[in-house]
Structure 1
């Protein structure tokens, strides 16, 4: 994060207020720990200070974003008082940058956890997989006291937000586990984390389909600079796009083409209805036909470059009924005929 970048827009009350007031109270406590007055920051975020002790009170995501950003600047601490030493401006941005060149999300998260340990040893983060489920675990190395809930929730949501951003994919949770007892605002956890939340658990963790760990990292330095202008959005608001289904469909079409003859067969293979398959692909900005074409194109190019098979044979292998329709489609994909493509790449 960068203190010289623009502030988030001023909060309004048009959005639903679903963030527990307890988190705003925790930020106010971070101010008092540094002998600073939180009142101006609360007023700036349009939060009435007298509501801090109301267990049923809620604020909007934008109010939380505004208050957090203001507090991080004032305290010069992106951890907002959670740890025994401050995390100065740019700390979490540095973690993202260190993960940016990873080939997959699994490698990126391993880097994230390892480098987080260089910032503070008050907590330890690790990623593991078992029976097709990935776990991002948070272990407390020292008691976090009254800031425990806010710290654990914030770190886990930040890591999840970064994982979603790196892969440009919404990562739905199988389960969230937390060591502390259900707080008075436990109903807010249906918004904070999708999927069920288990309190009084043996460890703090986020659990999700391990297939997401194989997704490629899709971001670069330019995208990082844009993201850092509103980095807190990754923590305070859910990510909407899910790319795992696209990858699953692409993999199935490539490895099990017999299931790709029609949407019903493919959907059944993926344990979905055909209607749900089409709707979810549309939500992800894709279509079944686009994915079929992409898989056929990739296979055709591979066969053209790796083998000397006749064009007619390749056309049949990638699913075309005749050579003429294959050549027409291939020219649309590559801007050249199959023979021209093969000659230009092999010559």
Structure 2
């Protein structure tokens, strides 16, 4: 099940602290981690180097071997083992859900059948969905790795099952920023908070309504090697076009260029353009769509002069507005207004 925490696979970015947490699991069960470290090509001497990092591929090899050797996919975190296949069972139990919201709720509910040391919960308020973890047992040396992993497991599954990036607005952690805090932006998007009351992340609630895209066959393939769940950063965001439209509607005056819009979405301009292209759209097309919508609304509901409407929706003059509106609606703004009963 999911083991690797960071991307890309060839870059040494996973903190040695997470490797040491797996070694702690071996110590808890009185077993020797030497074979697992050797399989992952991790030198035991590097465990004592706080700034040392390993690649995602190394970490996957280590944790995958450890989960099977210890017969515990929780790697010693909890008061009882999670036998090999436990997280696969969580994936399968959620796979028949009608949408992502139900899938996440099922994941949270079924995890409680495996352990009550931690409880995951989904709450929705003010258009924001938040997944949080409540700790019911002191996790000791495993705490950071356990909380980070469980957040990443569920987030990775959510992205995979709807075949879309689920862009995070924020993530919070109930401990002070660790020495390897620079790794956190690679694991979580949005604003990061340390010293919070509990571990959590939040995202736009509309992701919850997206239907699942995967089936049992895809699940079997994924479970053979679950690296993509926590390493693959999905380029496609099924809500991106919708989110861009809303920003343009609400804050169009501030969104004068791609750079300012991309910054609001925590993306680079290049990524914004690429993702919209992958959705079969473009920033200019969305701008035109919003302008047309706003212009038509003002023509229908107000008696403002057309020149004022042109300026209000972002055109320099009435002539360019009339030309664009004709291309959108097949008629001039004046003809549209007359056809709608406003003179």
The question of a shared fold, defined as TM-score above 0.5 by the shorter chain, is answered with: yes
Which range is displaced more, 272-281 or 106-115? 272-281
Contact 1:246 1:286 in 2 (8 A): no
Who is 2:306 aligned against? none
* C-alpha distance 270-60 of structure 1, shift in aligned 2 (>3 A): farther
Who is 1:286 aligned against? 280
Please tell me whether residue 139 in structure 1 is matched to residue 134 in structure 2: yes
Contact 2:9 2:56 in 1 (8 A): no
Who is 1:311 aligned against? none
**CA distance in 2: counterparts of 1:57 and 1:114, whole angstroms:** 37
**CA distance in 2: counterparts of 1:67 and 1:285, whole angstroms:** 37
List per-residue Cα deviations over 1:262-305 (Å, max 9, x = no partner).
Answer: xx9899599685796653222x353369x99xxxxxxxxxxxxx
**CA distance in 2: counterparts of 1:135 and 1:266, whole angstroms:** 24
Who is 1:83 aligned against? 78
Contact 1:64 1:236 in 2 (8 A): no
Who is 1:336 aligned against? none
List per-residue Cα deviations over 1:230-277 (Å, max 9, x = no partner).
Answer: 11431244333322125668xx7xxx9xxxxxxx98995996857966
Contact 2:171 2:199 in 1 (8 A): yes
Who is 2:176 aligned against? 181
Contact 2:236 2:275 in 1 (8 A): no
CA shift at 1:209, angstroms?
A: 1.3
* C-alpha distance 272-208 of structure 1, shift in aligned 2 (>3 A): farther
* C-alpha distance 274-195 of structure 1, shift in aligned 2 (>3 A): closer
Please list every run of 5 or more consecutive structure 2 residues that lacks an aligned counterpart in the other structure: 260-268, 287-327, 331-343
Aligned residues: 275
Q: Which of 166, 169, 174 lines up with 1:171 in the alignment? A: 166
Contact 2:60 2:227 in 1 (8 A): yes
List per-residue Cα deviations over 1:102-159 (Å, max 9, x = no partner).
Answer: 1111111011100011110000110011222110001101110110000000000000
Please list every run of 5 or more consecutive structure 1 residues that lacks an aligned counterpart in the other structure: 3-7, 257-263, 293-318, 322-347
Who is 1:212 aligned against? 207
**CA distance in 2: counterparts of 1:279 and 1:273, whole angstroms:** 15
Contact 2:100 2:207 in 1 (8 A): yes
Please tell me whether residue 195 in structure 1 is matched to residue 190 in structure 2: yes
TM-score (norm 2): 0.72
**CA distance in 2: counterparts of 1:248 and 1:14, whole angstroms:** 30
* C-alpha distance 139-34 of structure 1, shift in aligned 2 (>3 A): same
CA shift at 1:196, angstroms?
A: 2.3
Contact 1:176 1:197 in 2 (8 A): yes
Two-structure CA RMSD over aligned residues (Å): 3.2
| 1:53-68 correspondence to structure 2 within 5 Å | 53-68=48-63
List per-residue Cα deviations over 1:6-26 (Å, max 9, x = no partner).
Answer: xx9xxxx98211110000011
TM-score (norm 1): 0.71
